[in-house]
Amino acid sequence: MERVVLITGGTSGIGLAAAHRFLQAGCFVALAGRSRERGEAALASLGGLAADGHAAFFAADIRCAKEAKRLVADVYTHFSRLDVLVNSAGVYRERALEDLTEEEYEDIMDTNVKGMFFTTQAALASLKESGGNIVNLSSDAGLHGNFLCTAYCASKGAVTLFTKALALELAPFGVRVNCVCPGDVATPMTELQLQAAPDRDEALRQMAGVYPLGRIATAEEVAAVIFFLASDAASFVTGAAWSVDGGLTAG
């Protein structure tokens, strides 16, 4: 599977795990993120898989449409093609609606929705050329409501329906579009949330307790579904929102 894959939010968590999975399959991977320091650390963590030009980091703040456009252009210039776009960049925040500030709202919506929207828009010509596909990172919060998460749910609900609408729009061009909808995942972002609790282990126990499988996911488990959706094994899958949530939304 020697394809070129662009992963936004690729320097940690699910994005980095996805990069590892694609590289294992022989793909070329472009990691995108805001921090060059984190980007270099991410490349180093990939070890030999990133050798011989198989992975590169591109600094960009995709909350700005011009930056998203420049990112895609730089990736295409570097690798001469683009086959898969993984929109993994995202932020999470719990806040009662009455306490949510305009700045917090803009951070959530600009990262989770605007960044995905304009990165995808910039990548369309290349993906049509290659007959590629898109995998967006939504959430269980993009399928149902979560307590104290109105803005986050709104952003991920937008991701889910954007995925379905774009799948219809791009089907005539042979470009597939899908999204994954994870529940809680063991990532640095989740760990920060746990560390903020008075008792980290108790907070994790309570978090895991709502899942029928009795635990939260690993980033590698979500990355495996991302890889599947981007592969030829999913060649007849488009417009799908794949739950990776241990049964949380099954009821």
In the block, which residue shows the tokens 């932020």? 91
DSSP code per residue over 122-152: HHHHHHHHHT-EEEEE--GGGTS--TT-HHH
Question: How do the pLDDT tens digits run along the chain, 251 residues long?
Answer: 689 999 999 999 999 999 999 999 999 999 999 999 999 999 999 999 999 999 999 999 999 999 999 999 999 999 999 999 999 999 998 899 999 999 999 999 999 999 999 999 999 999 999 999 999 999 999 999 999 999 999 999 999 999 999 999 999 999 999 999 999 999 998 999 899 999 999 999 999 999 999 999 999 999 999 999 999 999 999 999 999 999 999 98
Q: Report the first-to-last Cα separation within the chain, whole angstroms.
A: 36
Respond yes or no: is residue 152 known to be catalytic: yes
Please tell me the distance from the alpha carbon of residue 142 to that of residue 217, in angstroms, as a whole number. Answer: 17
- Classify burial at 40, counting beta carbons within 10 Å of its beta carbon; exposed 0-12, middle 13-18, buried 19 or more: middle
Indicate whether this model's pTM tops 0.85: yes
> Where in the chain are the domains?
4-244
Which pLDDT score, from 0 to 100, does residue 2 have? 82
Q: CATH for 4-244, among 3.40.190.10, 3.40.50.2020, 3.40.1350.10, 3.40.50.720?
A: 3.40.50.720
Look at strands 176-182 and 133-137 and give their pairing. Answer: parallel
Dihedral of the alpha carbons of 173, 60, 50, 80, in degrees to the nearest 10? 40
Which pLDDT score, from 0 to 100, does residue 251 have? 80
Which of 146, 18, 142 is closest to 88 using CA atoms?
A: 18
Task: Tell me which of 76, 92, 105, 152 is the catalytic residue.
Answer: 152
The set of residues, in sequence order, having a beta carbon less than 8 Å from that of 180 and lying 6+ positions away, is 135, 136, 137, 138, 222, 225, 226, 229, 241, 242, 244
